[in-house]
């Protein structure tokens, strides 16, 4: 008598043996799924266990069928791996997947944002102690609106060129030299951050009095809070 665990292990082994044999025959993913009678997810688990990457579906010598949108596109429409092979999902679908994920999962977006800021802080040698939770907290406190303009913040990747990213969320250091530390960070639109640039508080007070008023209010409410937290 074999236990349930042994039965599953045997089934796994059998599936892996079949997939490996088909892989060596240059079979595509859809052909493997038909042969094994398994779902896309199951096949993906098997290939992961085996450490193999399924071949991209070539329609002709320079046309690939994207595994997500199923459109046949020129090979230039696909990103390449470091070893020079085209991905099985087209550029458009890769991009969509990334941005959709960020929009529907703020936590993922804030983690991504933190990784971006961390690199910038290192480059500019400014203090950096905030976490994605600080960003999430700020976002909630600002009710998803720009700190300076009250415009709705868009949670998406800020890509260069073409795209309009003026209302995309940007992390602003209230006092630029103060760095990315809790109490010195607010969220604003990319446009507002571009306008503010690296202005000192004195310059903001003189040129953007409305924004200065908001900063003063923020410092009273939050900065005191943060310093109290640091002190004890
Ligand atoms: Zn596609």
Section 203-222 average pLDDT: 88
Number of domains within the chain:
3
Residue 45 has pLDDT above 90, yes or no: no
* DSSP-derived secondary structure for 86-134: BPSS-HHHHHHHHHHHHHH-HHHHHHHHHHHHHHHHHHHT--B---HHH
How many CB atoms within 10 Å of residue 185?
A: 22
Supply the CATH number for residue 67's domain: 3.30.60.130
Classify residue 75 by its DSSP letter: G
Comparing C-alpha atoms, which of 189, 177, 119 is closest to residue 152? 189
**pLDDT category, 41, cuts 50, 70, 90?**
confident
Domain around 60:
56-99
Supply the CATH number for residue 109's domain: 3.30.40.220
How many CB atoms within 10 Å of residue 187?
A: 23
- Residue 13 CA to its chain's centroid (Å): 35
Residue 29's pLDDT is what?
A: 78
Domain boundary among 99, 131, 156: 99
Torsion angles phi and psi, residue 41, rounded to 5: -65, -45
Distance 50 CA to ligand 1 centre (A): 26
Distance 59 CA to ligand 1 centre (A): 14
Distance 66 CA to ligand 1 centre (A): 5
Cβ-based neighbours of 33, under 8 Å, separated by 6 or more: 39, 40, 43
pTM: 0.55
Residue 227 has pLDDT above 80, yes or no: no
48 and 62 part of one domain:
no
Section 78-106 average pLDDT: 74
């Amino acid at each position: 008598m074999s236990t349930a665990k042994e039965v599953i292990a045997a089934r796994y082994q059998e599936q892996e043996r079949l997939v490996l044999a088909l892989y060596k025959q240059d079979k595509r993913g859809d052909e493997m799924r038909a042969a094994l009678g398994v779902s896309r997810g199951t096949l993906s688990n098997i290939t992961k266990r085996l450490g193999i990457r399924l071949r991209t579906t070539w329609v002709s010598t320079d046309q690939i069928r994207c595994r997500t949108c199923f459109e046949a596109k020129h090979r230039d429409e696909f990103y390449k791996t470091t070893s020079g092979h085209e991905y099985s999902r087209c550029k458009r679908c890769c991009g969509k997947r990334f941005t959709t994920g960020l929009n529907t999962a703020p936590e993922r977006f804030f983690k991504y944002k933190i990784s971006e800021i961390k690199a910038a802080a290192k480059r500019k040698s400014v203090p950096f102690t905030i976490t994605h939770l600080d960003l999430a907290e700020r976002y909630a406190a600002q009710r998803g609106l720009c700190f300076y303009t009250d415009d709705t913040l868009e949670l998406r990747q800020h890509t260069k060129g073409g795209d309009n990213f003026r209302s995309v969320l940007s992390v602003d250091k209230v006092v630029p030299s103060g760095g990315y530390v809790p109490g010195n960070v607010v969220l604003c639109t990319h446009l507002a951050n571009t306008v503010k640039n690296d202005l000192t508080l004195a310059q903001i007070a003189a040129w953007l009095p409305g924004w200065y008023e908001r900063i003063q209010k923020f410092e009273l409410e939050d900065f005191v809070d943060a310093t109290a937290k640091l002190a004890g």
